[in-house]
Amino acid sequence: MAASGWKGFFLSAFDYKTEKYVIANNKKVGVLYRLVQLAIIGYIIGWVFFTKKGYQETEESIESSVMTKLKGVSFTNTSDMGIHLWGPEDYVIPPQGEKVFFIITNFIETPNQMLGYCAESIKVPDGRCRQNTDCPEGETVLAGHGIKSGRCLKKHWNSTGTCEIYGWCPVERGSQPEVPLLGRAENFTVYIKNFIRFPRFEFSKSNVLNTTDDQYLKKCLYDRTQHPYCPIFRLGDLVSWAGHSFQNMAVAGGSIGVIIEWNCDLDKGYDSCHPHYSFTRLDMSSTANSVTSGYNFRNARYYKNSAGQTYRSLLKVYGIRFDILVHGKAGKFNIIPTLINIGSGLALMGAGAFFCDLVLLYLMKKSTFYREKKFEPANNLRLIPCSRVLHPKAGIKPATFVAIGNSSNHYTTSYTNQTVSAILMCLCPFCHTPLQE
Ligand SMILES: *[C@@H]1O[C@H](CO)[C@@H](O)[C@H](O)[C@H]1NC(C)=O
């Protein structure tokens, strides 16, 4: 018994089982099904394959290197410094050509500072005093410039003064000039060299035109349509393309992002992979004149006089910081994503059929009728071994079974209902295991 059970199981494993369909002559659901199919095919071809390039393998990790070089000279004429000439070595910080660089556009200079005793600036709240006990000796001034000496310096006996400090004297004074001292930086140019590589596809390119004309880079200026491969930009253009005015931004400083986007379809070849530039201001706050806007820091240069004493020149510099950000992705045909996308498209078709089934079986007027046709109850069958049902001695000849199976109206009254069900079960292609009593 057990042996024949296993044998039947193994033999049934090699039976090919095909699905049986119920055809519903319902034009509404039929049209709905075709529409759903059409929408899914449209989505797969139009969106997945054409728009999203679903047939491509993509790489988003771009390897990139950026080098920058600034050109331009300007001079300033201030009472402290006199006439001073500014070259890139003076106004670019740091000078080594990084992808983040700062251009000085405005400054406050405090020349000839030496270590000694002097009054703290009135702008520092912790440095204000009314009497000597407000300035305990040896304490540092919070957010100030030096160490308190214990004396309160004031003009009149009952006015507010400031503590005397030990530090670099005189302390910084003055306020930020209203017109940027280095406003001519608007006409300075920056050369942005960018090399990129997509390691998976062994593809590399640069944003500089591949030319043998060595004068090209000396003459050209970037233009989106005329010179897309000229990587030389006027600073004023970078700021105005970001939607701001260079002269306004130069007063208090700010930050500009230069975004280089490489979106490459490598199926179209080397020449269709272009850099695309966009520009934005990065330090924007929602309110126009917020205390957070602007960018400045201090920078000192140290000297020695003929007597061997150290003195320094302090510069509070305002300027524009440029951040060059490189993004990119590349795609190339590959059979695996193609097959995956086709497969998921076919699975979506199945979802369409499922949806139409729901409509047919639950939302239509005749849905009860369709449900009865689709779901056949398999209970109240008496299970008889097939060998006995199909045995010639049982009085039923195999040739007649087919006729019985084909049309349920033709069985004669001499067969009971249960016998017919058993015969149908034995002929049923879905019988997975041998019938048992
Ligand atoms: C920049 O150069 C143009 C043309 O050479 C000139 O008209 C303009 O005044 C210059 N801008 C500044 C701020 O110097």
Q: How far is the CA of 73 from the centre of ligand 1 (A)?
A: 13
Each residue's pLDDT tens digit, 324-362: 999 999 999 999 999 999 999 889 888 888 888 888 888
What is the reported pLDDT for 271? Answer: 85
* 70 is known to lie in a ligand binding site: yes
Q: Which is nearest to 1 in space by CA: 165, 9, 290? A: 9
Query: Residue 247: CB within 6 Å of ligand 1?
Result: no
* Ligand 1 neighbourhood includes 245 CB (under 6 angstroms): no
Q: Distance from CA of residue 224 to its chain's centroid?
A: 24
Alpha-carbon Rg for the chain, nearest whole angstrom, is: 43
Low-confidence residues in the chain, pLDDT < 70:
1-4, 285-292, 377-437
Of 340, 313, 392, 330, residue with least CA distance to 196: 330
Residue of 106, 187, 221, 248 to test ligand 1 pocket, by largest number of atoms within 8 Å of CB: 187
Ligand 1 within 6 A of 187 CB? yes
- CB of 312 within 6 A of ligand 1: the answer is no
Task: Find out whether 132 is annotated in a ligand binding site.
Answer: no
Q: Which atom of ligand 1 is nearest to the CA of 246?
A: 13
Residue 85 marked in a binding site: no
Does 189 belong to an annotated binding site? yes
What is the C-alpha to C-alpha distance for residues 167 and 360, in angstroms, rounded to an integer?
89
Q: Atom 7 in ligand 1: which residue has the minimum CA distance? A: 187
Which residue type does 377 have?
A: P
Ligand 1 near 237 CB (within 6 A) = no
Please give the C-alpha separations between residue 390 and each of 226, 328, 402, in angstroms, as whole numbers.
Answer: 88, 71, 12
pTM: 0.72
**pLDDT at residue 286, as a whole number:** 57
Left (φ > 0), alpha (ψ -120 to 50) or beta: where does 97 sit? left
379 a known binding residue? no
Residue type at 392? P
Cα(221) to ligand 1 centroid in Å equals 15
C-alpha separations of 172 from 114, 118, 184, 295, 298 in Å: 12, 11, 25, 18, 11
Distance, in Å, from the CA atom of 315 to the CA atom of 108, rounded to the nearest integer, reads: 6
Burial of 30 (0-12, 13-18, 19+ CB in 10 A): middle
* SS3 assignment, position 379: coil
69 is in an annotated binding site: yes
Give CA–CA dist 367/24, Å, rounded.
10
Residues in a beta bridge with 228: none
Residue 175 Cα to ligand 1 middle (Å): 27
**239 C-alpha to ligand 1 centroid (Å):** 15
